[in-house]
Amino acid sequence: MDIENLRWWGWGTLDKSYSLEGRPDFWPTLQEWLGLPDGALQEETAPKALEDISLPPSRFEGPTLASLEDLVDGDSVFADKRTRVEHAYGKSYRDLIRLRAGRIRTPPDAVVYPNHEAEIGALLAWAAERDVAIVPFGGGSSVVGGVEPPGDGRPTLTLDLARLDRVLSVDRESHTARIQAGATGPEIEAQLNRHGFTLGHFPQSFEFSTLGGWIATRAAGQTSIGYGKIEHMTQAVRVVTPVGPIETKDVPATAAGPSVRDMMVGSEGIYGVITEATMCIRPKPDVQDYRGILFRGLEDGVVAFRDLMQSDSLRPSIIRLSDAPETTAFAVLAREHSGLRRWIDRAAEAYLRVRGYSLTGSTALMLLGFDGGSHWIPQQWSLASDICRDHGGLLVGRSVGQSWKRERFAQPYLRDTLLSHGVLVDTLETATNWSDLMSLYQTVVGTLKDAITANGGGPGYVMTHVSHAYPQGASLYSTYLGQQIPTSDPLVKQAQWEGIKQATTDAILDAGGTLSHHHAVGRDHARWLEQEIGETGVRALRSLKRSLDPDGTTNPGILLLE
């Protein structure tokens, strides 16, 4: 995480934010959603200043620290307050409320930036000899507690892979690239684009997350429908484990027994440190054509979505279908225009009402897009438009796609603003088959609303979109808002969040949804893993952990309960 001007207490960098200027409807509507009278929103509060935060002293000093520094080249070991704070937590709601309050009980004792793979092997051996826990660290964007030190009494060393940031080679004939695990999304794309290629992986955390983190968490980018999830892109992977390196064969397919590659993808750092991977890449598309389509209700949109995914003739890059509450939020956050543009906006709203659509009613908004050649894309749109119209879809043009692309990486900054005003805001995601999707949707939304109210959050506001789809089914991604319990104690706020998390996760699993589609397990979901994969499945993972990490050195407490 070698990024200047980092916002250690929130998302991204200090020079950026999600501007609410020109969006006059947002604050009044938010108060209505939260069940607050006018002017009752909490006054803005700032995070605790870094200089006022007290950390336990580092347990690495004297000869121990010197022996650690001897393992790495140059200026690579840091134990200063800022570096330890930046690596103490990820970016979940639970993480941020503790960071903002300065409640950091188990920061890493030191952070090391390895310069090459050999140093990682030496660091793992050093840690095993001294009963030190190792936490692999990419961009620190985990929202499930995936980079939090264990707090089990052992000293902790965080390995930040930011210096392993290069595309090592590009095979133009095979459409593959060998890439170091510490490269961030922008670094990967900049280097591949120079060769005329793209990885096509654009999660919302794109600007700050890394290849190793994506592979370790089985991540999905916003264009996963067209390019695949990260496991579909990963052809080979190299992992340094405490007992030695694992390097899977760089071939497109093999029948040589169970896939060791697949054992490493999604392993969340518990077996070792991912150092590089061979990735499937694509030629950079000539055109990206993303447009909006309105449906009179979510069910109409879901049927159209399913037909689009099950068509033999279509290859969309992205389909994202927002339910009515999320469509309303999209409208509320739209910038207000003036002059002729404002008149055009009002005329468009009147036209939609006449046609039976309302951005603040029951209407569902779909974002549909294609990447490819300038002659191929119009053919795709012709076929897709017919399918959408068959289900009452109204095409509303490219402005929706342009607006979404402008702000897709900026929206996490809005969470920091909401937290400053005492708003509980978090997300959760799951996936299921098409036949169960609407039932699971109703379960998730209903349980979230009830749980927010039961845990002191007021009426709550829940918005959901369907995305990351397959011919067989799709994921559901919900964002929920509520009143944060008015206290300065982050443990009380954490208990409120945990009550909501427990009720909703239980309901998802009982309804047949998956524990996680692309956010991984981490520390926050580990208690439900046995319900997801069974007792025998957990035993198998523990057995592999003991084989590759006999001393329990790497990422203890993540994925598997201790």
Please say which residue of 283, 298, 330 terminates a domain.
Answer: 283
Domain membership of residue 23 (yes or no) is no
Q: Determine the Cα–Cα distance for residues 562 and 542; give it in Å rounded to an integer.
A: 10
Residues 6+ apart with CB under 8 A from 395: 291, 292, 293, 385, 388, 389
SS (HEC) of 277-340: EEEECEECCCEEEEEEEEECCHHHHHHHHHHHHHCCCCCCCEEEEECHHHHHHHHHCCCCCCHH
CB-based burial label for 458 (10 Å; 0-12, 13-18, 19+): middle
Same domain, 392 and 292: yes
Domain membership of residue 43 (yes or no) is no
Same domain, 144 and 228: no
Q: Determine the Cα–Cα distance for residues 280 and 192; give it in Å rounded to an integer.
A: 11
Same domain, 189 and 77: no
Q: Determine the Cα–Cα distance for residues 240 and 35; give it in Å rounded to an integer.
A: 52
CATH number where 507 lies: 3.30.300.330
- Residue 172: which domain range? 167-283
Domain membership of residue 455 (yes or no) is yes
Domain membership of residue 2 (yes or no) is no
Same domain, 263 and 155: no
Q: What does the pLDDT profile of the chain (562 residues) look like in tens digits?
A: 667 789 999 999 999 999 999 999 999 999 999 999 887 788 889 999 999 999 999 999 899 999 999 999 999 999 999 999 999 999 999 999 999 999 999 999 999 999 999 999 999 999 999 999 999 999 999 999 999 999 899 999 999 999 999 999 999 999 999 999 999 999 999 999 999 999 999 999 999 999 999 999 999 999 999 999 999 999 999 999 999 999 999 999 999 999 999 999 999 999 999 999 999 999 999 999 999 999 999 999 999 999 999 999 999 999 999 999 999 999 999 887 767 667 766 777 777 887 888 888 899 999 999 999 999 999 999 999 999 999 999 999 999 999 999 999 999 999 999 999 999 999 999 999 999 999 999 999 999 999 999 999 999 999 999 999 999 999 999 999 999 999 999 999 999 999 999 999 999 999 999 999 999 999 999 999 999 999 999 999 999 999 999 999 999 999 999 8
Q: Determine the Cα–Cα distance for residues 261 and 276; give it in Å rounded to an integer.
A: 12
Residues 6+ apart with CB under 8 A from 299: 438
Same domain, 262 and 307: no
CATH number where 52 lies: 3.30.43.10
Q: Which pLDDT value is given to residue 338? A: 66
Q: Determine the Cα–Cα distance for residues 146 and 136; give it in Å rounded to an integer.
A: 9
Closest CA to 210 of 239, 186, 241: 186
- Identity at 220, one-letter amino acid code: A
Domain count across the chain = 4
Q: How far is CA 357 from CA 153, 319, 353, 364, in A?
A: 58, 20, 5, 9
Domain membership of residue 85 (yes or no) is yes
Domain membership of residue 536 (yes or no) is no
Q: Determine the Cα–Cα distance for residues 215 and 198; give it in Å rounded to an integer.
A: 17
Q: pTM of the entire structure?
A: 0.96
Same domain, 219 and 109: no
**pLDDT tens digit sequence for 171-204:** 999 999 999 999 999 999 999 999 999 999 999 9
Domain membership of residue 333 (yes or no) is yes
Domain membership of residue 59 (yes or no) is yes
Q: What is the DSSP letter of 56?
A: P
Are 214 and 268 spatial neighbours (Cβ–Cβ below 8 Å)? no
**pLDDT tens digit sequence for 256-297:** 999 999 999 999 999 999 999 999 999 999 999 999 999 999
